[in-house]
Amino acid sequence: MTANSSAGMAAVIVTAIATILIGMYGVRAVRTTGDFYVASRTVTPWWNASAIGGEYLSAASFLGIAGLVLAYGTDMLWFPVGYTAGYLMLLVLVAAPLRRSGAYTLPDFAEARLESTVVRLTSSVLVVAIGWLYLLPQFQAAGLTLRTVTGAPAWVGPVVVAAVVLVSVLGGGMRSITFVQAFQYWLKLTALALPVVFILLAWQSDGRPELATPEEPAFTDRTAVEITTDVTIDVTDPVTVRADGTIDGEPIDDELTLTSGEHDITAGSVLTFPAGAQIPHASQLTPMSGEHWALPMRSGGDHPLYSTYSLILALFFGTMGLPHVLVRFYTNPDGRAARRTTLTVLALLSLFYVLPPLYGALGRLYTPELLLTGRTDAVVLILPGELVDGAAGQALTALITAGAFAAFLSTSSGLTVSVAGVLSQDLLGRRVRNPVTGFRLGAGLALLIPVGLALSSPTLSIADVVGLAFAVAASSFCPLLVLGIWWRRLTWPGAVAGLITGGGAATAAVTTTIVLGPQDGWLGALLAQPAAWSMPMTFTVMIVVSLLTQRHVAPGVDRTMVRLHTPENLDLDRGDWDPEDRWRHP
Amino acid sequence: MTERVTVTGPRRRRPRARRQAVAAEIDAQTQLGEVYMRALLRAQLRLGLTVAGVVFGLVALVPLAFTFAPRLTDLELLGVPLPWVVLGGAVYPVLITAAWFYVRHAERIERDFAEMVGRR
């Protein structure tokens, strides 16, 4: 084991142990949910905002954005912009009413507003679907990180993260510990911000080379590339390399001319390219010339304008429908604080999201071999070690690894708690009598399925899969929340019809893309970025069906509107629905 | 010696009575109460949709501008290409400003509503 990998290993172990310990400490500090409820009143918007940021910044933000920027350039900047703007849309459309509803989960909200258990059940199924879709890339990223930093087999990462999450969730619930999540935000910010300073200095002392030369990327020097996962590469110009390992199933240790077309390279092979050789890309990546890389509207496949708008819609309106976001709003004392917290969250996210694109851009210059190995998502982990020598480089790599692990752990804990809660309350409920056993079973199930998927499904770009989860959320819960909060005539049959058609269609499109891979032409664009058609579809179905079923308008809707929209300091009758009842009378 | 004047507040009772009346109207879900509630909802929704619409509209212009005025993408600011300046940095202050504007005005709408209904 090299010095670099032991530093990385140490970072992973420290982060994991700290998370488990804090989870256990949390049990002692927060004995009852009531304590949590009371504690939530004393948390200031500042801490709360840090906690929301800590939970929100996932593997997609920490690793995925930089990887996408490395491969596809300018267009990928929409991801961080959309992740941030999602909180603006959440703020102006739902933040305060959502907090005032007192709902703890999305199914809670649906039931309270529409007074129907059918809509609750439908929401529960969708929460689980979105949760799994969001957890999948977290686990894939964990596998990638452990393998990059320590050389461990790909299955170790998902299993380690799932185990740590399970222990901490079952031990005490990360959810109750605002300060842990808050700390995670600052850890993640430091872990990206500090190395960036060194990287920029290294680039500066290198004479600030041009980031994007107009041609396709090429090796500047003679470069040996070690292949650590099996990869199929697409060679455009024949190139003679020195190969040691297994190419196209043949063992070889000699000069070899790679002809145009696809070649399978087995893990463990080393290819040494001559200086100036064009870099063959892994077959799942589309090569881009530097000129196109630096320009917008070049990477959206056949229909860049449609794909860009659909992505913008999904990211802008998906955030409010993510299962783990609503839980955090509950720790705001009131609706006004919820707004102020969201404003702070926007500022904190803006601060963070300036950083990942820098890694992507400099990574294209200094670690272009990732285009060949196809593991572009690893650029954040590799770049500091590549540019900064010696102990400083190792320390920076360890810091980044710790940050990445914090990202997987915080987001997957938040999601696991949400998914497990929904699974145990709404889907397992009647079959398991003891609620604690139910929650444990739910947590196990919540983790088992995405870990299984992460181990078996083809490697997709982390940020892409997360983008798909946003598309489903934007086509299901965004319309439910917006119409539920602002439109009295929404009925439960309307909501259910919308969730099933729009949410279902988006889920189907997304699943097709994940299982079959990207398709060509208009069909491919519509399936890969469904939000632009599925979100309006949900809105339309919800509105039309509601208008047709007006006798099902919730009887208490006027009272619910008072509850959602009036400031808490006014002495008004807000109805007797109280989600905290279930904590007081278990 | 100046003349002593008794300072009284004769106007205090009437507004309080009115305030309580509004709260009671809302609680009883009378037509008048509903008028107050609908006014609050409409004001908040209009504000929310305006901010969302303006920001979304501005952002939605960016891909259009890059597609139909490709010369924009050749511009540079301190050596950084314009698309990177806009999407990698300049957009964030816009989002934060919009959020700040929204929070200020949403709170003002609530203050006005609270004035009308009366605090606890």
Encoded amino acid at A168, one letter: S
Indicate where chain A has its CATH 1.20.1730.10 domain(s). 3-203+294-552
Mean pLDDT, residues A549-555 taken together? 89
Q: Are A80 and A353 in contact (CB under 8 A)?
A: yes
Which of residues A254 and A41 earns the better pLDDT score? A254
Tens of pLDDT along B66-78? 878 777 777 777 7
Interface of B with A in 56-85 (CB under 8 A): 56, 59-60, 62-64, 66-67, 70, 73, 81, 83-84
A28 pLDDT tier (thresholds 50, 70, 90): low
Q: In the prediction, which pLDDT does A38 show? A: 42
Query: Do residue B110 and residue A336 have CB atoms under 8 angstroms apart?
Result: yes
Q: Quick one: which of A205, A242, A244 has its CA closest to A222?
A: A242
Residue A582 in this model has a pLDDT that exceeds 90: no
Read off the pLDDT of residues A496-516 as tens digits, 9 standing for 90 and up: 999 999 999 998 988 888 777
Contact between chains at B92 and A353 (C-beta distance less than 8 A): yes
pLDDT tens per residue across span A258-272? 888 888 888 888 888
Q: How far away is chain A from the Cα of B10, in angstroms, using its nearest Cα?
A: 25
Across chain B, which distance is largest between two alpha carbons, in Å?
Answer: 84
Non-local CB neighbours of A197 within 8 Å, separated by 6+ positions = none
CB contact under 8 A, B63 and A305: yes
Question: How high does pLDDT run on average in chain A?
Answer: 82
Q: How many CB pairs under 8 A join A and B?
A: 137
Predicted local confidence at residue A92, as pLDDT: 94
* pLDDT, mean of residues A310-335: 86
Rounded Cα distance between A321 and A544, Å, is 21
- A92/B51 Cβ within 8 A: yes
Q: Which of A66-75, A245-254, B95-104 has the highest mean pLDDT?
A: B95-104
pLDDT at position A421 over 50: yes
Residue A567 has pLDDT above 80, yes or no: yes
Give the distance, in angstroms, between the CA of residue A174 and the centroid of all CA atoms in the same chain: 18
Give the residue ranges of DSSP H helices in A176-289: 178-205
CA distance A308 to A486: 28
* Confidence grade of residue A579 (pLDDT, cut at 50, 70, 90): low
Contact A483, A539 (CB under 8 A): yes
Q: Which of A76, A88, A320 to mutate against chain B (most B CBs within 10 Å)? A: A88
Please give the structure tokens belonging to residue A128.
């689980």
Tell me the pLDDT band of A585, cut-offs 50, 70 and 90.
Answer: very low
Report yes or no: B88 and A360 within 8 Å, Cβ to Cβ.
no
User: In this predicted model, which residue has the larger pLDDT, A46 or A535?
Assistant: A535
The pLDDT confidence band at residue A37, using thresholds 50, 70 and 90, is very low
Residue B35 DSSP symbol: H
Q: Is the pLDDT of residue A26 over 60?
A: no
- Cβ burial of A303 (10 Å; 0-12, 13-18, 19+) is middle
Per-residue pLDDT tens over the stretch A183-241: 888 889 999 999 999 988 888 888 777 777 767 777 877 888 888 778 888 888 888 88
* Torsion angle of the four alpha carbons A189, A193, A194, A198, in this order, in degrees rounded to the nearest 10: 160
Cα A110 to Cα A98: distance, rounded to the nearest angstrom: 11
For the residues A239-268, what does the mean pLDDT come to? 82
Verify whether the Cβ–Cβ distance A88 to B114 is below 8 Å.
no
> What confidence tens digit (pLDDT) does each residue in A384-420 have?
888 888 888 888 888 888 888 888 888 888 888 888 8
With tokens 């900064």, the residue in question is A388
Length of chain B: 120
Q: Which CATH number fits domain A3-203+294-552: 3.40.50.800, 3.30.479.10, 3.65.10.10, 1.20.1730.10?
A: 1.20.1730.10
Q: How far is A375 from chain B (nearest CA, A)?
A: 23
Confidence class for position A429, pLDDT limits 50, 70, 90: low
**Contact yes or no for A275/A368 (Cβ under 8 A):** no
pLDDT of residue B120: 46
Find chain A residues with C-beta within 8 A of B66's C-beta.
Answer: 295-297
Q: Which of A41-45, A74-78, A347-351, A452-456 has the lowest mean pLDDT?
A: A41-45
Regarding predicted confidence, which is higher, B56 or A464? B56
